[in-house]
Homo-oligomer: A and B are copies of this chain.
Amino acid sequence: MARLLRAATWGLFPWRGYSQGPCKDFVEALKAVVGTPHVSTAAVVRAQHGQDESMHRCQPPDAVVWPQNVDQVSQVAALCYSQGVPIIPFGTGTGVEGGVCAVQGGVCINLTHMDRILELNAEDFSVVVQPGVTRKTLNTYLRDSGLWFPVDPGADASLCGMAATGASGTNAVRYGTMKDNVLNLEVVLPDGRLLHTAGRGRRFRGPSSCSRGTHLPCMSPGTRKSAAGYNLTGLFVGSEGTLGLITATTLRLYPLPEATVAATCAFPSVQAAVDSTVHILQAAVPVARIEFLDDVMMDACNRHGKLNCSVAPTLFLEFHGSGQALVEQVQQAEEIAQHNGASHFSWAEKAEERSQLWAARHNAWYAMLALRPGSKAYSTDVCVPISRLPEIVVQSKEDLKASGLTGAIVGHVGDGNFHCVMVVNPDDAEELRRVKAFAEQLGRRALALHGTCTGEHGIGLGKRQLLQEEVGAVGIETMRQLKAMLDPRGLMNPGKVL
């Protein structure tokens, strides 16, 4: 420890040696905590951890560690804290706002080795998972329980990572976002202390070799409701790894729907598609998904998937329910859509037919990439009150054209949330500049319509200026105070959100 403290006198990043990379003593100290095989300073490994799926430039950490249990996370955090070393939590790396870029170097804590489903409480509709458990793994595990976890951002992301970024996706219109479905969090604070946001755990009674370590309590499963003190869970959901490391989460589960029906229909205009959405919601049809794809996206999907869909604004719908209720839902939705000029209303009940029908939506990302071989996709998202959706979608399509960009709009239209996916030549700096300018303009358009600059992707690196404009001086000051309170040394995922 004395050697480590001596290291702390070196330069701006004191834990780095005189040469490149972290000083040897510090790396040895990390190895002493998590074991030699679970620390890496290899360039290729660091590069893998320095970027997500976005086009934000790779900024590798100085070292990557794979803790095996929460004790080790706590010890690594305490070690970094004592030495002033930045800490970057890492799940599946499937974010799209640069949330894992190590802008000041530091230690990337890859949490995927902690991959246990700790506790399923089927009667209570809840499950406790570690950060290595992804959404698909959980739903596979749940298959025979009659339950499922519906939040679906597309990627097979880590559930704790989804909590950290406040993810949502296609099912949010019916089942809510991570905000609505996280019941409790186990959080390692930057100094290594362990916080349970919605109540303390109990001591783990299992074998001492379990991946929770031996002396730390398990997490309480959490209750559906609580009015006990300040909502700490809500504070950490969506904090993007800037306030602490999420090492376990209790999630709310739902009964598997008895049956599922999918439907698609094309509309003469964006307005008609959005009007249908509002009318369907107003009619209290409990639609599970309602997704919008614009004409550009439909065209790309036709080309990519050799499909024959109408090249027109299109809604993709999914209904969950039981027998008779489901038929009624689909009928109501179809009537409303037709009243708004929809054509080609087709629906499918069997799993195979459903996925055929939804093929366009599921492959949208790849269809866009296929439009320009060698290109990369840049996705940005905003959310507006649903009544302003037609206006902003039409404006955005004009902006895209005016900027000479290839982009399409796809959205979780029931929530007023949509993405603009652009394909870019990654080597064309000028085009990239236009893409970024467009994304910023889109964010400002959303704010002008009383929306938010991000409905689900988060602030990350790219939207910090927009966040300031959105929440104003008092809002930003309050967020800065929160950050300073929980992370007084500014070590947790620096450079993000604020």
Contact with B along A281-292 (1 / 0, CB 8 A): 111101000000
How distant is the Cα of A194 from the Cα of B471 in the complex, in angstroms? 11
The reply to whether A482 and B479 form a contact with Cβ atoms under 8 Å apart is: no
The reply to whether A225 and B168 form a contact with Cβ atoms under 8 Å apart is: yes
Partner of A229, one of B197, B231, B332, B479: B479
Taking CB atoms, residues of chain B closer than 8 Å to A447 are 199
Taking CB atoms, residues of chain B closer than 8 Å to A226 are 383, 452, 454-455
Selecting from A11-19, A361-369, A384-392, the interface stretch reads: A384-392
Taking CB atoms, residues of chain B closer than 8 Å to A227 are 165-168, 238, 452, 454-459
How distant is the Cα of A125 from the Cα of B482 in the complex, in angstroms? 31
How distant is the Cα of A168 from the Cα of B223 in the complex, in angstroms? 14
Partner of A325, one of B199, B324, B451: B324
CB distance from A420 to the nearest CB of B (A): 16
Partner of A223, one of B223, B286, B385, B466: B385
Taking CB atoms, residues of chain B closer than 8 Å to A78 are none
Residue in chain B with minimal CB distance to A446: B223
Is the CB of A314 closer than 8 A to any CB of chain B? no
Taking CB atoms, residues of chain B closer than 8 Å to A176 are 180
How distant is the Cα of A237 from the Cα of B325 in the complex, in angstroms? 35
**Size of the chain A interface, CB-CB below 8 angstroms:** 101
Taking CB atoms, residues of chain B closer than 8 Å to A452 are 198-199, 223, 225-228
The reply to whether B450 and A199 form a contact with Cβ atoms under 8 Å apart is: yes
Is the CB of A299 closer than 8 A to any CB of chain B? no
The reply to whether B286 and A286 form a contact with Cβ atoms under 8 Å apart is: yes
How distant is the Cα of A229 from the Cα of B482 in the complex, in angstroms? 11
Is the CB of A493 closer than 8 A to any CB of chain B? no
The reply to whether A387 and B123 form a contact with Cβ atoms under 8 Å apart is: yes
Identify which of residues 359-383 in chain A touch chain B, using a CB-to-CB cut-off of 8 Å: 383
The reply to whether B255 and A475 form a contact with Cβ atoms under 8 Å apart is: no
Is the CB of A156 closer than 8 A to any CB of chain B? no
Contact with B along A104-146 (1 / 0, CB 8 A): 0000000000000000010111100000000000000000001
Is the CB of A463 closer than 8 A to any CB of chain B? yes
Instruction: Take A195-B478, A457-B227 as given contacts and tell me if A126 and B486 are in contact as well, using a CB distance cutoff of 8 Å.
Output: no
Partner of A481, one of B180, B234, B485: B485
Query: What are the 6 A-B residue pairs with the smallest beta carbon separation, nearest first?
Result: A234-B234, A325-B325, A123-B387, A124-B385, A255-B284, A200-B472
